[in-house]
Chains A and B, each alone.
Chain A
């Protein structure tokens, strides 16, 4: 069987901004409140009276051409064969170059450790055949995670619905795609 090509699709159309994914991520990985690995960006769109709220997941895009990996001087940020952008805090000196380089601002310094932790797509869980925490706790099925090499997977179906990268002009080949909000 071919190697899995993990991808995530965010169906912004379905998101209600409940932040259950954010809370679950922080609870499971015991992350300080101030520096979550995942945020839901809330933006008011349109002009009154025709206004609506737009919710966007902001987190690591696990880019195939990841700027944080390219600038890291020690190899603490690296790309695995399955496509995860991983982070080894033992190798990190806290130079913060990755924070500057990530155009999605997905890296942030965790003050207690002095290192910029990041979303791991819950690699240990995925390795044992489970889904990332944020995916399992979403009540709206906004997040779809899976193997894009399998044409019958949910994520392949979702990509076929017209999922696009967020800020594709950055040119980093992100592995998280978005189905944009349409009214």
Chain B
């Protein structure tokens, strides 16, 4: 037996497992789905009522599953309640807990009202409160990482913006995918949200471009580029996120809109929603792991 002492480079920094990527992803999906529900309702368009209702029913659940994933990743999962009784407002995670504790009841109450009293006077204020919370949750999932400013991958303000846009896009995809199985929605509502998703995907591509440009010029950006887009997670990044998660749905979306949604193939549209969700998860997964990979070296 040899007596060796672990050197600093062997510190186990890779400590946030896939559960955290799932948590960040599902939190974003819920926030995005709620935005779809609330915005559809607030437009007041009759054609959007069905979509709004389905979105409202779908919105609360992913984030709850995500919190379950977060608890699984905790070192002391059975002590998770400690985070609910101790708050530190300088901690982004603590602020996130507060945001989620407001968002989840609002989303649940909103879904309940849609089901029981769709004409309630509470619907409109709830929609606005929920939109604010949703934007907060979407930003929070990015700031959780970007607040660690010394991390070459995470320490950029582009990240929360990217996660927010991606959250909305995955929320739209989740609602449109779910509505296919839960009930018929107006084709015009679907076309409207598909158009919005088209814009969101375009913005995501621009933000990813900005992220890469930022790394090209940042002092420790070479490391970030290597981990995200190079030898680290490059294959997942270029094939999974860019090609399958963004460009493919973009192409399908454009094709669908050109050919007219009523005549478009349903399975093609469903594939595009699934790809958006797949790409959204992969984005969190790659950013999370690439960031942790840069932690190991000094």
Chain B, interface residues (CB within 8 Å), range: 35 or more
- Given A74-B86, A95-B74, A105-B295, the answer on whether A36 and B6 have CB atoms closer than 8 Å is yes
Q: In this complex, which of B6, B16, B75 has the most chain A Cβ atoms within 10 angstroms of its Cβ?
A: B75
Interface flags, A118-130, vs B, CB<8A=1, else 0: 0000000000000
Q: Taking the complex as formed, is B15 at the interface, i.e. its CB lies under 8 A from any CB of chain A?
A: yes
Tell me which of A39-47, A148-156, A157-165, A175-183 binds B: A39-47
Closest A residue to B80 by beta carbon equals A93
A residues in contact with B77, CB < 8 Å: 94
Q: B12–A94 contact, CB under 8 A?
A: no
Q: Taking the complex as formed, is A14 at the interface, i.e. its CB lies under 8 A from any CB of chain B?
A: no
State which residues 60-86 of A face B: CB under 8 Å. 67, 70-76
Q: B91–A97 contact, CB under 8 A?
A: yes
25 residue pairs of the A-B complex, CB under 8 angstroms, read A36-B6, A39-B5, A39-B7, A39-B8, A41-B7, A41-B8, A70-B90, A73-B94, A73-B97, A75-B86, A92-B76, A93-B75, A93-B76, A95-B83, A96-B15, A96-B73, A99-B15, A100-B13, A101-B148, A105-B296, A105-B298, A108-B11, A109-B15, A113-B76, A167-B298
Q: A34–B6 contact, CB under 8 A?
A: yes
CB A115 to nearest CB in B, in angstroms, measures 6
Q: B6–A116 contact, CB under 8 A?
A: no
State which residues 1-37 of B face A: CB under 8 Å. 5-9, 11-13, 15-16
Q: B93–A100 contact, CB under 8 A?
A: no
In the bound complex, what is the Cα–Cα distance between A19 and B5 (angstroms)? 8
Residues of A whose CB lies within 8 Å of any CB of B are 19, 22, 34-36, 39-42, 56, 58, 67, 70-76, 91-97, 99-101, 103, 105, 108-109, 113-116, 167, 170
Q: B148–A105 contact, CB under 8 A?
A: no
- Given A103-B150, A105-B8, A105-B295, the answer on whether A93 and B88 have CB atoms closer than 8 Å is no
CB A124 to nearest CB in B, in angstroms, measures 24
Tally of A-B residue pairs with Cβ under 8 A? 110
B residues in contact with A95, CB < 8 Å: 74-75, 83, 93
A residues in contact with B291, CB < 8 Å: 100
CB B19 to nearest CB in A, in angstroms, measures 11
State which residues 85-131 of B face A: CB under 8 Å. 86-88, 90-94, 97
Q: Report which of B86, B97, B151 forms a contact with A91, defined as CB distance below 8 A.
A: B86
- Given A96-B16, A100-B148, the answer on whether A73 and B8 have CB atoms closer than 8 Å is no
Q: A75–B88 contact, CB under 8 A?
A: yes
Q: Taking the complex as formed, is B147 at the interface, i.e. its CB lies under 8 A from any CB of chain A?
A: yes
Closest A residue to B145 by beta carbon equals A100
Q: Taking the complex as formed, is B43 at the interface, i.e. its CB lies under 8 A from any CB of chain A?
A: no
B residues in contact with A58, CB < 8 Å: 8, 11
In the bound complex, what is the Cα–Cα distance between A58 and B298 (angstroms)? 11
B residues in contact with A36, CB < 8 Å: 5-6
In the bound complex, what is the Cα–Cα distance between A36 and B91 (angstroms)? 26
CB A103 to nearest CB in B, in angstroms, measures 4
Q: Taking the complex as formed, is B79 at the interface, i.e. its CB lies under 8 A from any CB of chain A?
A: yes
In the bound complex, what is the Cα–Cα distance between A101 and B218 (angstroms)? 19
Q: B12–A109 contact, CB under 8 A?
A: yes
